[in-house]
Amino acid sequence: MNSNKSRFGMVKLNITLLFIFVFCTGHAQSSWIRVNQVGYLEDDVKVAVWISKENNVVREFQVIDLATKETVFTGSDIRNTGKQPAFESSARLNFTALKRPGSYIVKVGETESVPFCIGNDVYAGAADIPLKYMRQQRCGYNPFLKDSCHVHDAISVGDPEGKRDGLYFNTVGGWHDASDYLQYVTTSANAVYQMLFAYSQHPGSFSDRYDANGHEGANGIPDILDEAKWGLDWLVKMNPDADTYFNQLADDRDHVGFTLPNEQKVDYGWGPGKERPVYFVSPKPQGLFKYKNRSTGMASTLGKYASSFSLGAKLLADYYPEFSDLLAQKAQDAYHKGAENPGVSQTAPGGAPYFYEEDNWADDMQLAAMEMYNSTGQKEYLTQAINYGRLEPVTPWMGADSARHYQWYPFVNLGNYHLAAQHGNLRAQKEFIRNMRTGLQRVKERAEGDAFLNGIPFIWCSNNLTVGFITQCRLYHDITGDDSFLEIETAMRDWLLGCNPWGTSMIVGYPEQGDTPTDPHSAFTHLHRIPVTGGIVDGPIYHSIFSSLIGIYLTNEDEYADFQSDYVVYHDDYADYSTNEPTMDGTASLTYYLGYLSAQAKLAKKVAGGIVRGDTSKKQLSLVFTGHEYADGARKIQEVLKKNNIKGTFFLTGDFYRKYPAIARDLQKDGHYLGPHSDKHLLYADWKNRDSTLILRTDFEKDLNDNYQAMEEIGLKIESPRYFMPPYEWYNQEISNWTEAMGVQIVNFTPGTTSNADYTTPDMKNYLSSETIYNNILAYEEKNGLNGFLLLVHIGTDPKRIDKLYDRLEDMIKELKKRGYEFKRVDKLLKD
């Protein structure tokens, strides 16, 4: 089915449903609540934004637990922010105090947000998402298409010396810049560096599921390094010798209509689908046709070459030692040639006046000098980095109302970060910390009065600026510990993930079940309905810019019409290349921040000293069963586990072991891990005030020792390492400390699925049926995955609960196996 017709049909259906709603209720929706659709870390600043077409104020809001349908938080920390573009009133609803993991909605009156999660694991695996788009953008061999494209590149043009035009150079490879198939060193070298930098900061966030060619299958190298090397291989081809540096491959003659890259047959004068032009880095204005750029030097491009080569040499040395040596030499050559040729080398326009209008170059040389210093330790490079940095202390877009297209690029100055983080010159360190803060403060001041706390100028590719901003916020916080920008950092992160006027994530397909771009400016999607998952789209743009661009129109009804204004617009429509085109460099820039968020999932394996999750990079989980009073499910569970060849984990009280010794012995005989759950199932910590311990240390130690003694008395082996799941799955840091002092590690179930509610009975307010719990588990898996999960089921429950979750255990095991999960004992899960 034609994707446009399908989408238009959906729009018409939505309009019909809206008409019915209006007809039946007498009014259309006038208020909305925007949240981060992925969710919030437990200690995040958490703010939802209420917007309304009516003139009103918010005095109170609620947060509802989706599992129990109960109000778990009533908020009065509200900042009414008044009239906004497209809205008569707005408010910021702060629920930072809610830290309990779970799934929720925010509610004001009858207006509800979309669901979202709280938990330190909500971004598990997010770092790998942009790499899906990067692989899809590959030129030369494209693993997504399993075909090759542009294999004849390229013929040289634009030599500033006029001597080397018309020569063939093998420049096959790299990435297509966006939905067209042009390729630029400016954006590609920045993309390489951003991915290398992301890996250097958070190496544990990135998995190994693909080989160097982008095919499924691990090769012993993190996928992000495979992707960065793909870009480095192309940069080496674009720099064939110390005197030859190319800047751009193809030009806007490429814009001849939508087609997949392996089907493109543009004729640049050498035959349809044959060679494309490759432009030299030039200190002079370039352009083969009517329009020319404003190039003044070579340093902007050569600085990017040098920084990516230098960091690449360092990070790839263990995998490709000879290639690493080559990169190190090329970094040195490019850096020195850049120093000899200050100024900018802009990209070349063709038949249209559009090109990357980069006006700054000192930041590129600053970063290159820092990478040379980091790799060689030579102090002169540090001095040079400081001097370059002083030429541009703050990236000029920060605090500005507007800028030309890519005028100040890259959008984040990572040279400033390196100087702020180094210890070779403490005076300079303080200076560049101050520079980082100044830029952030300018954006923060520009955001004053904005309901979404957005101080980013809505120029073309505003989302890329947003990514640069949150990157600088995070790096500044890491260096200084200063919390001044935490709220605006999370606000701008949340903006990208749905907390914006349109209520959409700006990353295609993330989150999977959320409102994300479905009709991006991409031939993959428009022609073949193939999603470009992981790509970040250009983002909102000033209405004045949108209305002045050439060739923009809308092909469908605007589903976001209620949220557009004369100030700023965003359209999920393939014909709007200004707001809805994914970009390769913007997507690569996401890897650092998503790497940071993914790292929190691994750091967050402990809650109050207890391990709550295993390795989130592997599709492994542990079935954990607890028991005290009831054992009605024991034989059924034992039978199902044996039938499916699964080893589980059982934490049982001393009372259970004494009452059901035969069951316990049979479980251990079958190879399951058995551990303590307290001797008498005591409550260790206050339910409302977790930090309040309800037991003396001597009594706690006796209770745990008695549990172990009960195990030994019935002939059980005490296994090592010793793990302990506290009674009621409730404890605090003090209990963890006491446990650790006894040589035991607390573990707890991984929150989010509601499986632990299988003890509830129909007379309880928080009762959940087994069918509901079962569906919740699978729904959670679809959205977030269960990698590393300790999935809790009770071995028996009160007779008043007729429907037992363990009756669905085999169904659940088979479904999760089908989804690729492996089941392990808790000791094996946490060891692996």
Fold matches, 126-600 and 605-831:
no
Cβ neighbourhood burial of 393 (10 Å; 0-12, 13-18, 19+): middle
Q: Each residue of 466-511: pLDDT tens digit?
A: 999 999 999 999 999 999 999 999 999 999 999 999 999 999 999 9
Stronger pLDDT, 397 or 22, i.e. the higher one: 397
Collapsing DSSP to helix, strand or coil, 374 comes out as helix
Q: Which of 235-239, 419-423, 544-548 has the highest mean pLDDT?
A: 235-239
Q: Are 337 and 298 in contact (CB under 8 A)?
A: yes
* Structure tokens given for 108: 């004001």
pLDDT at 14: 40
pLDDT in tens, 230-251: 999 999 999 999 999 999 999 9
- Please write the tens of the pLDDT for every residue from 64-106: 998 888 999 999 999 999 999 999 999 999 999 998 888 899 9
Neighbours of 29 (CB within 10 A): 14
713 token code pair: 């008395």
Calculate what percentage of the chain has a pLDDT beyond 90: 84
Q: How confident is residue 603, by pLDDT bands cut at 50, 70 and 90?
A: low
Burial string for 735-749 (b: 16+ CB within 10 Å, else e) reads: bbebbeeeebbbbbb
Residue 374 pLDDT? 94
Reply yes or no on whether the pLDDT at 24 is more than 80. no
pLDDT confidence band for 689 (50 / 70 / 90): confident
Categorize the per-residue pLDDT at 54 as very low, low, confident or very high, splitting at 50, 70 and 90.
Answer: very high
C-alpha closest to that of 538 among 494, 504, 507: 507
Q: Which fold has domain 27-118?
A: Immunoglobulin-like (2.60.40)
Alpha carbon distance 682, 691 (integer Å): 16
pLDDT at 421 over 60: yes
Judge whether residue 8 has pLDDT over 60.
no
* Mean pLDDT calculated for residue range 678-696: 92
pLDDT averaged over every residue in the chain: 92
pLDDT at 15 over 50: no
| pLDDT class of 12 with cuts at 50, 70, 90 | very low
d(CA 419, CA 426): 9
Inform me whether the pLDDT recorded for 11 exceeds 80: no
**CATH architecture for residues 126-600:** Alpha/alpha barrel (1.50)
Whether cis (ω within 30° of 0) applies to the bond prior to 501 is: no
| Per-residue pLDDT at 688 | 83
pTM assigned to the model: 0.75
Residues 436/472, Cβ–Cβ less than 8 Å? yes
Q: What share of the chain is helix, strand, coil (3-state, %, to 5)?
A: 40, 15, 45
- Percent of the chain clearing pLDDT 70 (strictly above): 96
CA-CA distance, 573 to 580, in Å (whole number)? Answer: 7
Residues 388-417, mean pLDDT to the nearest whole number = 96
The three-state secondary structure class of 75 is: strand
pLDDT at 757 over 60: yes
624 in Cβ contact with 651 (< 8 Å):
yes
Task: Say yes or no to pLDDT of 270 above 60.
Answer: yes
Using CA atoms, how far apart are residues 263 and 253, in angstroms rounded to an integer?
A: 16
User: Nearest Cα to 657, choosing from 706, 711, 718?
Assistant: 711
pLDDT above 80 (res 7): no
Instruction: Say whether the peptide bond before residue 410 is cis (omega within 30 degrees of 0).
Output: yes
Tens-place pLDDT, residues 109-142? 999 999 999 988 899 889 999 999 999 999 999 9
Q: 704-730 pLDDT, tens per residue?
A: 999 999 999 999 999 889 999 999 999
- Residues 343-358: pLDDT tens digits? 999 999 998 888 999 9
Pinpoint the alpha helices (H) of 426-567: 426-446, 462-480, 486-496, 523-528, 543-546
Q: pLDDT band at residue 822, thresholds of 50, 70 and 90?
A: very high
pLDDT value at residue 28: 81
What H or E segment, with its residue span, contains residue 642? helix 634-643
Domain boundaries, the chain: 27-118, 126-600, 605-831
Both tokens of 530, joined, read 């193939």
How high is the pLDDT of residue 832? 57
CATH of range 605-831; options 3.40.50.720, 3.20.20.370, 3.20.20.30, 3.30.70.260: 3.20.20.370
pLDDT of residue 626: 97
Per-residue pLDDT of 143-192, as tens digits, reads: 999 999 999 999 999 999 888 999 999 999 999 999 999 999 999 999 99
Angstrom distance (rounded) from CA 179 to CA 269: 23
Range 322-338 average pLDDT: 98
